[in-house]
Structures are given as structure tokens and as C-alpha cells.
A and B are shown apart, each in its own frame.
Chain A
């Protein structure tokens, strides 16, 4: 079946620290991979995506690389800001034309000044 496992939170960092949130997946076929972000009191927004092996998604200083050999899609940012405080969800869309999204449990990030 399809599943996503991401690191448990919460994660607390100081401003300008380096961020890594680990995400691994299990999927049949060739999934697309996503990171969504949820700011307090809001819905989810797409942060970045990758559709095939070795693709790198990037946005707002965040990056993640689709690693088929390790079935991973780890989220990284070199220097976090207080405004990055949010919950981050790793997700996959199975191949074969499915529109369904399978989400990880989410990782809450708090960045302190």
C-alpha cells in the first residue's frame, strides 16, 4: 500500500538554524511527492513538489530531493525564520492517474527569535 512516515515533532529551533525534517514513503508505482505547510489557523498550502526520481523541489528557501533509492523526500532549509513556524506535512500522490493524497502525520516547527 501507500504510506508516508515523517519525523515526529515538535521541532524547536533558533532563528537562522538549519532545518531538516525527514520523510520516507512506501508506494506502488511512481508517486509524486509533496511538502505542504499549515500556518496557525489556516488550511494547507503547497510548499514544494517533485514528480520523478532526482527531481529537486524548492520554494521560499526550502528544498527537498526525490530519492528513489532511499524512498525519501527530506525537507531542508539553511536558515529558518520565525515566520517559518508552522506544521509541515509530507505527502504522496500515487502514480497511475490517482488524485488522492496520502499524508504523513505532520511535524510542528517552532522557530524562536
Chain B
């Protein structure tokens, strides 16, 4: 099984550019989420989805959009990148009440 796949692994953007971080899982997990990891901050929840067509905001949603048209995919969109969005982004998925979340390998984003 591929598990949770994130693309790209690395990305450099200029301030004001837009882009989409891709996340796909092949485990038929209903719950998917996006986190950002910053030094000394741990992981903070950006957005999450409990199933196709349902999304909600996490702790730090500003500047990011998400959609969930299929069970497998949960893309994260940056509409107008800012230097404050320089971070490592992780996508995760899980089944309800199964306790273990599976993480992708991360996307390292630099906004200059």
C-alpha cells in the first residue's frame, strides 16, 4: 500500500503566488487533515475533513482553502502565498475510532 502520498516534496514560491499541495490516500480513510510544522511549535491543524464533501477549519486556517470531492484526495490551496506560510506541511488520514493517524512524508514549502 502506498499509504498517504504528498506532492510535491519541496516547493519554492514567490510572495503572492498560488499553489496546491496534493494529498492522496489509498486506505479508504474517511478522516483527513492538514497540519503545518514549524520549529518550536509542534504540529498545528489547518483544516480537516470527516468525509467527502465535508470540511472544517482547524487551529490555523487563514490563508488556506481545502475541498474534498473524493474520499481519496484532500488538496490544500494557498491562494496568495506569504512568507509566514513557509513551513513543512503534513497530510494525515485515519478511520473513525481507529486511533492511529497515518502521515505523508511532508511538503517543505518556502515562500520568498
Contacts and interface: CB of A to CB of B under 8 A. Distances in A.
Main secondary structure of the interface of B (DSSP, over half): strand
B91 to A, nearest CB: 9
Contacts of A69: none
Interface in A1-59: 4, 32, 34, 36, 41-46, 49, 51
A100 B101 CA distance: 10
B103 A43 contact: yes
Interface residues on B, range: 20 to 34
A45 B41 contact: no
Interface of B: 4, 31, 33, 35, 40-45, 48, 50, 58, 90, 92, 94, 96-97, 99-101, 103-106
19 contacts: A41-B105, A42-B105, A43-B103, A43-B104, A44-B43, A44-B90, A44-B101, A44-B103, A46-B101, A49-B100, A89-B42, A99-B48, A99-B50, A101-B33, A101-B101, A103-B35, A103-B42, A105-B41, A105-B42
